């Protein structure tokens, strides 16, 4: 069966790099959302606890309940509004002013400020009203944060957003006297701000081994690799074709081809036959990827499809996030 392997050494090295960048391990807040970017929320939660990561962010309550089995000090739920009270380590994001009245009394909340992403969060002009509504509905303000839209771009937008955010924090601190945590940076943003000013940084793709800033990318290494097992082998002759549409023609006689148990049904994108896609050792994927399988020259019992998603991301004109988050949750994930 096709299997995802998670490299513990690489994960720990990535976490050590970010611990040094942030100044201390306890500032690490790992992004576990969307099944830990395809890596497996349970497996990455386990590795996080072994390393000593105490904070995480998740997409919804379903993921929060899984993460809660691993004793995180805080679990920030990004998108779902609760209908009841949960464990005290659950924090829920306020993404919209109109939603504040929907939270049960005594819910722990974190207020998201829209500083330029123009996606989620309250507007700066709504801060006073938001604080009044939080008080009116007896919610517990545990944090204030924002999200950078261009942290991996070479421009001044991140600095502008950070300035807006810090002005907002000053306004909030003048209005309320209770302590709350402050955060703004993601994996790339943490390279652009003074991390001493903030309580945590939300690190996702960087902990999984990718940084989209050229001068920093070699400081981390990919954690996820995808392996497939042989289903069958056959010897083909020159002129024979492989797969749907007969799009790949065998170039020589005595050509050994094997079929392996990974396909687009497992979340491995269907290759455009006009593109030359390769597995990790450089061998070409022959013809079209099927729903449950693909073909490679040779007769290895097991092959590494990739241990770095960058090549496939380039082939599909996308980003490594998309390659990994599409991997089927039913594929076994094994820490090694």
- Measured CA to CA, the distance from residue 118 to residue 315 in angstroms comes to 30
Cα-to-chain-centroid distance, residue 39:
8
Place of tokens 């998740």: 58
Q: How many CB atoms sit inside 10 A of residue 216's CB?
A: 16
- Going by the DSSP 8-state scheme, the letter that residue 284 receives in this structure is B
DSSP H helix total and E strand total for the chain: 8, 18
Which of 135, 136, 197, 244 is catalytic? The answer is: 244
27 is known as an active-site residue: no
Q: Quick one: tokens of 84?
A: 């009841």
Contact of 58 with 42, CB cutoff 8 Å: no
Percent helix, strand, coil in the chain, to 5, is: 30, 25, 45
Which of 27, 33, 112, 142 is catalytic? The answer is: 33
- Measured CA to CA, the distance from residue 79 to residue 120 in angstroms comes to 9
- Measured CA to CA, the distance from residue 317 to residue 118 in angstroms comes to 25
Secondary structure of residue 159 in the 3-state scheme: helix
Any residues with CB less than 8 A from the CB of 155 and at least 6 apart, and which?
Answer: none
Nearest by Cα to 152 from 183, 206, 189 = 189
260 is known as an active-site residue: no
Place of tokens 């590494």: 304
- Measured CA to CA, the distance from residue 100 to residue 105 in angstroms comes to 10
Nearest by Cα to 111 from 126, 94, 134 = 94
Contact of 38 with 331, CB cutoff 8 Å: no
Active-site residue numbers?
A: 33, 244
């Amino acid at each position: 069966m096709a299997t995802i392997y998670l490299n513990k050494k690489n994960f720990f090295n990535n976490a050590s790099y970010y611990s040094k960048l942030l100044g201390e391990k306890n500032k690490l807040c790992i992004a576990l959302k969307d099944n830990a970017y395809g890596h497996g929320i349970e497996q990455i939660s386990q590795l996080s606890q072994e390393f000593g990561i105490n904070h995480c962010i998740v997409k919804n309550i379903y993921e929060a309940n899984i993460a809660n089995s691993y004793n995180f000090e805080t679990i920030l739920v990004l998108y779902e509004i609760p209908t009841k009270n949960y464990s005290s380590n659950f924090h829920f994001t306020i993404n919209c002013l109109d939603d504040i009245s929907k939270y049960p009394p005594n819910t722990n909340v974190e207020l998201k400020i829209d500083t330029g992403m123009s996606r989620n969060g309250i507007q700066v002009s709504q801060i006073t009203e938001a604080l009044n509504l939080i008080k009116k509905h007896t919610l517990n303000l545990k944090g204030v944060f924002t999200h950078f839209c261009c942290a991996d771009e070479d421009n001044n937008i991140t600095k502008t957003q950070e300035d807006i955010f810090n002005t907002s924090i000053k306004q909030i601190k003048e209005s309320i006297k209770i302590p709350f945590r402050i955060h703004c940076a993601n994996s790339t943003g943490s390279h652009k701000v003074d991390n001493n000013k903030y309580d945590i940084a939300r690190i996702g793709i960087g902990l999984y081994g990718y940084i989209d800033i050229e001068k920093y990318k070699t400081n981390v290494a990919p954690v996820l690799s995808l392996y497939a097992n042989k289903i069958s082998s056959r010897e083909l002759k020159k002129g024979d074709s492989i797969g749907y549409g007969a799009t790949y023609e065998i170039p020589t006689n005595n050509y050994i081809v094997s079929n392996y148990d990974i396909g687009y049904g497992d979340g491995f994108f269907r290759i455009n036959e006009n593109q030359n896609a390769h597995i990790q050792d450089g061998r070409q994927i022959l013809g079209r990827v099927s729903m449950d399988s693909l073909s490679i020259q040779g007769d290895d019992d097991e092959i590494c499809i990739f241990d770095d998603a960058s090549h496939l991301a380039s082939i599909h004109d996308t980003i490594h996030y998309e390659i990994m988050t599409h991997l089927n949750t039913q594929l076994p994930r094994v820490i090694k």
